[in-house]
A and B are shown apart, each in its own frame.
Chain A
Amino acid sequence: MTQRAMTSALSLANRAALGIFGVMFCIYLLGPILAFIPMSFNDVALLHYPIERFSLRWYSNLVASSEWRLALLNSVVVATSATVLATILGVCAAFGLWRGRFRGHSIIMVVIMTPMIVPSVIGAISMYFSFAEIGMDYTYSALILAHTAMAAPIVVVTVSAVLARFDGNLLRAAASLGADPLLAFRKVTLPLIMPGVVSGAVFAFAISLDDVVVALFLAGPDQRTLPVQMYMRSTDLFDLATAAAAAMMFIVAVAMMIFLELLRRRDRLAPVAKAADSRR
């Protein structure tokens, strides 16, 4: 065997090994989810394969059940409200931190990031007692406020990232042309940082939709969100409606990921923020 043939055989073996490893790692990451979700199409209320008869009965059960409908509605209302609030707060905070280089700048950044770092059960328990103290436990407001606090930091992070590429001279230019600070923000800053704002909002929505721990503490039966409902159903009288709900949430999550990726590509193809500045 020649030297070249030996190396190529070796590299073929290497590539095959890498391929096998890659596939196994993906199975490890996604296997449980991909195994669970198809069961939602099984006609029989049993968690096993093979699927005996294909059916959508668990999906129709889901839609028919007032309990599940309420949970879905709660999730949408809470996640949407928290996303809107967290995005507004996060954009304001990121812009303020970007503009002002003041004393204690980095301390404020750490404070803002705290909700992301603190274990959620600690946050949940403290919020539960705090809201109970002022009589706000088991209310939509409490749940929305809690999710807002959990989601705002990610908006600060994504918006700060785009602001780092934003040319401050553009705001000076806008001012010299007669735009007051609010108009300059609306017409110049906001359109240019929009990719960061949108991806921050998507992450904020995902954080709210993902939360079980805080909602378990803060939500009464009327505020029960979809993940909490799924958790409850899985621990008592399990039926495959949970699998159907999981399938739907999975699709939403995948859709959000695809959306973020498209957003990222668009941003990369049109490097909007500092077109002129690259020439400096």
Chain B
Amino acid sequence: MKPSVEFRNISKSYDNQTLVIRDLNLSIERGEFLTLLGPSGSGKTTALMMLAGFEMPTTGEIFVEGQPYSALPAHKRDIGVVFQNYALFPHMSVAENIAFPLQVRGHGPKDLDRRVKAALDMVRLPEISARKPAQLSGGQQQRVALARALVYEPKIVLMDEPLGALDRQLREEMQIEIKSIHARVGVTFVYVTHDQGEALTMSDRVAIFRKGVIEQIADPQTLYDRPCNAFVATFIGDSNLLRGTIVGRGGGQATVAMPGGGTLDARAGDNGAGKDAYVSVRPEKIDVSAGCIDRGVGNILAGTVDKTVFFGDHVKVSIRLEGGQLLAVKTGTTEPYKNGQTVTASWRAEDCVAFTAPPTRDTAVVETTVQV
């Protein structure tokens, strides 16, 4: 079966000088929920706009179900779009908004009513069809926009940061809602966000964009557990990034000497030959205990407590390692640590990855992305 969408060697420049998208190759399966995730300016929205037909690729070709689409105007593409500001027609009622794509396609009034009603039921808003968009809450507008983008059964639905304007609680509700609608209609969803939590909860696969290039594309679990480079490791979830020097390699493993003494065993994250190492380890994978105890679980580093922050269900402890680097630890323990107390941090070798390239190529190396 042909993929639903295929970007082949797509590049895009707005000013003929800088590339917003660089030689993008991406294949999206039918019925998949794919999220394009990245910081602002990474090219994720541009990729979406090219698929919608609002922007033309500078080079390359976009295929939808095997057909070249780059030259096809937006209104002939049959791709639903949900905009960040919803873009509901303010002069039309909710029912008229949802009926719009059906009217354009020449559906009869009977069919129209039935489908509009079904669409409103789907987004669980059966009572508001006569209202104008300005009379709706943000969440309701979002649902209506979704209903409008789905009512004519397009092949693909694109969503450009659709939950960005909603408060946190509503956003979490809508994430579940959108996910369940996707499961019911089985249409290909392409979703753009800069919120990594959103990407991990909703997606079948996530493509991490940076500077017009996809750094990694994988399912959320793989992205979290097996990031392919230091950027992905620090961008997805919280991660410590410890600097050291590689002193041994082999069998997919690397041994890293820490500047404050001691060595770490880690999975080798890439095939780089450099000596510099950036070891990524998640705060929740680290055990911390008072004193200098060797439990023999793998990597052990000693340090002193810099500060602790209580979050209710967990505590974040920031440890100043020998050699000066900070290590953030997320622990469920209620054991109170005093600032300056000597502690031991330990974690398994398979829970950390050593990369040879820093997370950003053009700025100073970030010691840790965890704010304690």
Name A's B-contacting residues (CB within 8 A). Answer: 167, 169-170, 172-181, 183-184, 187-188, 191-192, 270-277, 279-280
B74 touches A175 (CB 8 A): yes
Query: For window 59-95 of chain B, which residues contact chain A by CB distance below 8 Å?
Result: 73-81, 83-91
B87 touches A169 (CB 8 A): yes
B259 at the interface (CB under 8 A from A): no
Q: Which residues of B contact A280 (CB under 8 A)?
A: 84-85, 165
Q: Considering the complex of A and B, which 7 residue pairs feature the smallest CB-CB distances, nearest first? A: A275-B134, A177-B101, A173-B87, A175-B74, A176-B81, A169-B87, A275-B90
Q: Which single member of B54, B73, B152 contacts A177 (CB below 8 Å)?
A: B152
**In the complex, what distance in Å separates the CA atom of A66 from the CA atom of B85?**
60
**In the complex, what distance in Å separates the CA atom of A183 from the CA atom of B101?**
11
In the assembled complex, how far is the CB of residue A15 from the closest CB belonging to chain B, in whole angstroms?
40
In the assembled complex, how far is the CB of residue B306 from the closest CB belonging to chain A, in whole angstroms?
40
Assess A180 versus B165: contact at CB under 8 Å? Given A173-B81, A173-B83, A276-B141: no
The listed residue with most A CB atoms (<10 A of its CB), out of B52, B76, B88, is: B88
**In the complex, what distance in Å separates the CA atom of A90 from the CA atom of B77?**
32
A177 touches B148 (CB 8 A): yes
B73 touches A191 (CB 8 A): no
**In the complex, what distance in Å separates the CA atom of A253 from the CA atom of B142?**
46
**Number of A-B contacts defined by CB within 8 Å:** 91
A188 touches B52 (CB 8 A): no
**In the complex, what distance in Å separates the CA atom of A179 from the CA atom of B97?**
13
A176 touches B105 (CB 8 A): no
Q: Which residues of B contact A178 (CB under 8 A)?
A: 75-76, 78, 101, 104-105, 152
In the assembled complex, how far is the CB of residue A77 from the closest CB belonging to chain B, in whole angstroms?
33
**In the complex, what distance in Å separates the CA atom of A180 from the CA atom of B158?**
19
Assess A180 versus B75: contact at CB under 8 Å? Given A172-B54, A276-B85, A276-B133: yes
Q: Which single member of B52, B100, B138 contacts A172 (CB below 8 Å)?
A: B52
**In the complex, what distance in Å separates the CA atom of A186 from the CA atom of B42?**
36
Q: Which single member of A170, A177, A276 contacts B104 (CB below 8 Å)?
A: A177
B91 touches A272 (CB 8 A): yes
Q: Which residues of A contact B165 (CB under 8 A)?
A: 279-280
| CB-CB nearest in chain A for B96 | A187
A176 touches B149 (CB 8 A): yes
In the assembled complex, how far is the CB of residue B248 from the closest CB belonging to chain A, in whole angstroms?
53
In the assembled complex, how far is the CB of residue A186 from the closest CB belonging to chain B, in whole angstroms?
11
**In the complex, what distance in Å separates the CA atom of A176 from the CA atom of B54?**
9
Q: Which residues of B contact A187 (CB under 8 A)?
A: 89, 100
B80 touches A176 (CB 8 A): yes
In the assembled complex, how far is the CB of residue A262 from the closest CB belonging to chain B, in whole angstroms?
18
In the assembled complex, how far is the CB of residue B249 from the closest CB belonging to chain A, in whole angstroms?
51
Assess A176 versus B85: contact at CB under 8 Å? Given A183-B104, A192-B91, A276-B141: no
| CB-CB nearest in chain A for B164 | A280
Q: Which residues of B contact A279 (CB under 8 A)?
A: 85, 138, 165
**In the complex, what distance in Å separates the CA atom of A177 from the CA atom of B75?**
7
B53 at the interface (CB under 8 A from A): yes
Contact sample, A vs B, 12 pairs, CB 8 Å cutoff? A173-B88, A175-B75, A176-B52, A178-B101, A180-B73, A183-B104, A188-B89, A192-B91, A272-B90, A273-B90, A275-B133, A277-B85
